[in-house]
Chains A and B, each alone.
Chain A
């Protein structure tokens, strides 16, 4: 089946940029997503990218997609303490409609 991998932990200083990485195996992925989960809460959709795009920018967030290497990244500019959370990447393919496969999640810790 599909596999989505992320590094477990990232620590950055407030004001620096954060880059969270994700790799996936499904070559038929159509949409790739980034979700944020704060403690005890559900998932908040941050952004998503269609597989024929290389980059998408939305305010402080920049998503880069390397389809050849099956690599997705999320860059958060000017990281704030409120950005501390778990970030999940997820993908869906044409064969399963909107069914999502999630990554393992990356815990982002922002220090002062």
Chain B
């Protein structure tokens, strides 16, 4: 149980393109999802916390207008990288915690490798 699906797994596009990444909880509902960015050989950096039905909470230094987050349902959050440039190339990973009583650890998707040419 607690499967998180991320799509696409790999995308290559031209500079200036906007790219949408989907994060779905397949077998549970999640009121909160998280978006991370990971550079090669580095740890995960939290970008934002996505809350169902409300605005996302962004970490310091993350541009809200650059990384648009929508969490329209209890099983889907999307991250749109707007007008992507080569410096946005990275590995983006989402996570979600099942809604419920007691402690619910975060479960991660398989990540999306974004390459901007």
Q: Taking beta carbons and an 8 Å cutoff, which residues of A are in contact with B?
A: 31, 33, 35, 40-45, 48, 50, 88, 97-100, 102-105
In Å, the complex CA distance between A14 and B95 comes to: 32
Contact of A103 among B43, B95, B113 (CB under 8 A): B43
Are B113 and A40 in contact (CB-based, < 8 A)? Answer: yes
In Å, the complex CA distance between A75 and B44 comes to: 22
Are A42 and B97 in contact (CB-based, < 8 A)? Answer: no
A35-B108, A102-B44 given as contacts; is B6 within 8 A of A42 (CB)?
yes
List chain B residues, Cβ under 8 A from A98: 32, 97, 104-106
Q: Taking beta carbons and an 8 Å cutoff, which residues of B are in contact with A?
A: 4, 6, 32, 34, 42-44, 46, 49, 93, 95, 97, 103-111, 113
Are B46 and A33 in contact (CB-based, < 8 A)? Answer: no
A-B contact pairs, 20 of them (CB 8 A): A35-B108, A40-B111, A41-B111, A42-B6, A42-B108, A43-B93, A43-B108, A44-B108, A45-B105, A48-B105, A88-B43, A97-B32, A98-B32, A98-B104, A99-B34, A99-B46, A100-B34, A100-B46, A100-B95, A103-B43
- Measured CB to CB, the closest approach of chain A to B68, in angstroms, equals 20
Who on chain B is nearest to A33 by CB? B105
Contact of B107 among A41, A45, A99 (CB under 8 A): A45
Chain B interface main SS type: strand
Contact of A31 among B34, B44, B105 (CB under 8 A): B105
In Å, the complex CA distance between A50 and B104 comes to: 12
List chain B residues, Cβ under 8 A from A102: 43-44
User: Can you add 10 more A-B contacts, CB < 8 Å, to A31-B103, A42-B111?
Assistant: A41-B110, A43-B108, A45-B105, A48-B105, A97-B32, A98-B105, A98-B106, A100-B95, A100-B106, A104-B42
In Å, the complex CA distance between A40 and B49 comes to: 23
A31-B103, A40-B113, A44-B108 given as contacts; is B43 within 8 A of A99 (CB)?
no
A40-B111, A98-B32, A99-B34 given as contacts; is B43 within 8 A of A104 (CB)?
yes
List chain B residues, Cβ under 8 A from A40: 111, 113
